[in-house]
Structure 1
Amino acid sequence: MIRIGTSGWRYPEWRDGFYRGVPQRRWLGHLAEHVDTVEINSSFYHPQPRTNYLKWVAETPPGTTFSVKGPKLVTHVKRLRDAEEPLRAFFDSLALGAKQGPVIWQLPPSLRFDRAALQDFLTLLPSGRHALEPRHESFRTDAYFDLLRAHNVAHVVSDAPTFPCIEAVTADFAYVRLHGHDELYISNYDDEQLDEWADKIRGWDRDTYVYFDNTMHGAAPYNALALAQRLGTPIRSHM
């Protein structure tokens, strides 16, 4: 099972391209008519009420999966420590039902690998699929990979020019975020780059979630469709 989509959907930059002629209230539904997974980013910045999650479920067709970004209160403010209460509040707010996919925990670039702190954090996570995106070179170590494998947590394979791309598969599923290879959040992925990512994903031979985060110039949805075509995953409708 390979799911390919975009990181977020509320981008004015897409208005004259992918969303041409589509009213803003229909943006999520329009995107979900073409890709089968979307990463929710707003949950990182502010707590989202259950009503928002229920609305997003209602706006998308059956078979849609949402990945959800964990709150920055946990990752950036508390830096994974003493996180019991914010974790409880976050998971209590989720109301995605059958459309719930992995939860992704994006770490700040200044956070170095600390085995004890990460071990404590991982033990707090409820059952379900979780993925961790570190942005510091110190995570390129077997101690980190072994810890994730022990908890069946996926290391996020990220492609970006400003933080390390650490390629490791540590769970029974894989998670990829493509932020733009040359310019962060901007660069379009060309045919050769998409071919390379398709080959890597085939080689992992497991459930995989892929999100294009090169959103600022509108490349993300088109790159998602192009990668899906290479991997033979269902495309809901053609552009």
Structure 2
Amino acid sequence: MKEVTMETRIGISGWRYPPWRGTFYPEDLAQKNELYFASRQLSSIEINGSFYSTQSPASYKAWYSTTPDHFIFSVKGPRYITHIRRLNDIALPLANFFGSGVLHLKEKLGPFLWQFPPSFRLDEDKLANFFAHLPKTEKQAVQLAKKADRLDPDYPAAAATSQRHLRHAIEVRHHSFENPDFIKLLRDFNIALVLADTAGKWPYMEDATADFMYLRLHGDEELYASGYAPENLNWWSDRIKKWQAGSEPRDALTMAGPDPHPQKRDVFVYFDNDLKVRAPVDAKSLMHLLHVDWKPQD
């Protein structure tokens, strides 16, 4: 039997940062071509704009067509749901989000990232209701999108019958989540816990809770700014290899202990230490350590 190769995606959180001009981006590169350039250097990028406001179907279609084959986007869920509604009365906001055109990313659509504010405390009932509403397939996402009330749902026709699996990851920022019951809840719904390196500011847990791992590296010494030294990137590389292989680091900082159902996992890693132009540099360095070869052909 052929051995299954697990997927490694290493990229950046967003792609439009003026300080990257002349460092990551060539000085003479037109701004409209930044995504084109970045997607040929890195195999995945988080879409951040969807967190702040509703993006248009035209934008999703343009992002799809601009990027090469086999590229993957992660998409940040709206703060309207997580920060403003705080998971209250979420059915229609979720319908509007999934009807906004995000499914036009088609096979380039990777995990959805749901980030909670530092003031949001663990509420198991509210989270369970949220997880139950999240679509697990494109078909379910379309069924949800059809209930949109703020826009005309827009999605590719093929999505209406597609059973392609959708993934979801949760990033928490309140210490009440350092609770084994929270980890169990994530595992029950196959939701990934985001391993967020935040220079010690917010919770850091290494529990494997889904069929993939999702890492966000915001800076190990200074939030959103500090770069990762070679020895630190080696440390991350060693851990990623273990999670991919279906094991866990011996010194893993977990709330609930080892995963009772170990399995090989895809790994998604995004650098968000962009203030000092470190994110793309560190992403490419980690790709090299993990032997991730990304040379797309147009």
**Map of 2:205 onto structure 1:** 166
User: What is the CA–CA distance in structure 1 between the aligned matches of 2:216 and 2:291, rounded to whole Å?
Assistant: 19
Question: Once the two structures are superposed, what CA deviation does each residue of 1:101-122 show, in whole Å capped at 9, x if it has no partner?
Answer: 0000000001111111100100
- Pick one of 205, 211, 216 that aligns with 2:275: 216
Deviation of 1:236 (Å): 2.5
Is residue 235 of structure 2 the alignment partner of residue 196 of structure 1? yes
User: Amino acid of the residue matched to residue 237 of structure 2?
Assistant: A
- Pick one of 7, 19, 23 that aligns with 1:17: 23
User: What is the CA–CA distance in structure 1 between the aligned matches of 2:39 and 2:220, rounded to whole Å?
Assistant: 25
Is residue 106 of structure 2 the alignment partner of residue 97 of structure 1? yes
User: What is the CA–CA distance in structure 2 between the aligned matches of 1:235 and 1:59, rounded to whole Å?
Assistant: 16
Q: Contact 1:229/1:235 (CA < 8 Å) preserved in 2? A: no
Q: Contact 1:225/1:235 (CA < 8 Å) preserved in 2? A: no
User: What is the CA–CA distance in structure 2 between the aligned matches of 1:166 and 1:118, rounded to whole Å?
Assistant: 18
**Map of 1:176 onto structure 2:** 215
Out of 134-143 and 159-168, give the one that drifted further: 159-168
Is residue 279 of structure 2 the alignment partner of residue 228 of structure 1? no
Is residue 151 of structure 2 the alignment partner of residue 144 of structure 1? no
Question: Once the two structures are superposed, what CA deviation does each residue of 1:41-77 show, in whole Å capped at 9, x if it has no partner?
Answer: 0000000011100011111111110000000000000
SS of aligned partner of 1:103: strand
Give me the TM-score of the superposition, normalised by structure 2. Answer: 0.78
User: What is the CA–CA distance in structure 1 between the aligned matches of 2:123 and 2:219, rounded to whole Å?
Assistant: 28
**Map of 1:153 onto structure 2:** 191
RMSD: 0.9
Q: Contact 1:153/1:171 (CA < 8 Å) preserved in 2? A: yes
User: What is the CA–CA distance in structure 1 between the aligned matches of 2:83 and 2:16, rounded to whole Å?
Assistant: 23
Structure 1: runs of 5 or more not aligned: none
- Pick one of 34, 49, 59 that aligns with 1:42: 49
User: What is the CA–CA distance in structure 1 between the aligned matches of 2:213 and 2:37, rounded to whole Å?
Assistant: 26
Is residue 122 of structure 2 the alignment partner of residue 84 of structure 1? no
User: What is the CA–CA distance in structure 2 between the aligned matches of 1:98 and 1:50, rounded to whole Å?
Assistant: 16
SS of aligned partner of 1:96: helix
**Map of 1:131 onto structure 2:** 169
**Map of 2:158 onto structure 1:** none
Deviation of 1:34 (Å): 0.8
**Map of 2:61 onto structure 1:** 54
Q: Which has the larger radius of gyration?
A: 2
User: What is the CA–CA distance in structure 2 between the aligned matches of 1:78 and 1:8, rounded to whole Å?
Assistant: 24
Structure 2: runs of 5 or more not aligned: 1-6, 137-165, 245-264
**Map of 1:119 onto structure 2:** 128
Deviation of 1:81 (Å): 1.8
Is residue 38 of structure 2 the alignment partner of residue 31 of structure 1? yes
User: What is the CA–CA distance in structure 2 between the aligned matches of 1:197 and 1:132, rounded to whole Å?
Assistant: 20
Q: Contact 1:36/1:65 (CA < 8 Å) preserved in 2? A: yes
SS of aligned partner of 2:99: helix
Is residue 47 of structure 2 the alignment partner of residue 8 of structure 1? no
Q: How many residues align?
A: 237
Deviation of 1:166 (Å): 1.6
The list of structure 1 runs, each at least 4 consecutive aligned residues, that deviate by more than 6 angstroms after superposition, is none
SS of aligned partner of 2:275: coil
Deviation of 1:137 (Å): 1.0
- Pick one of 69, 75, 78 that aligns with 1:68: 75
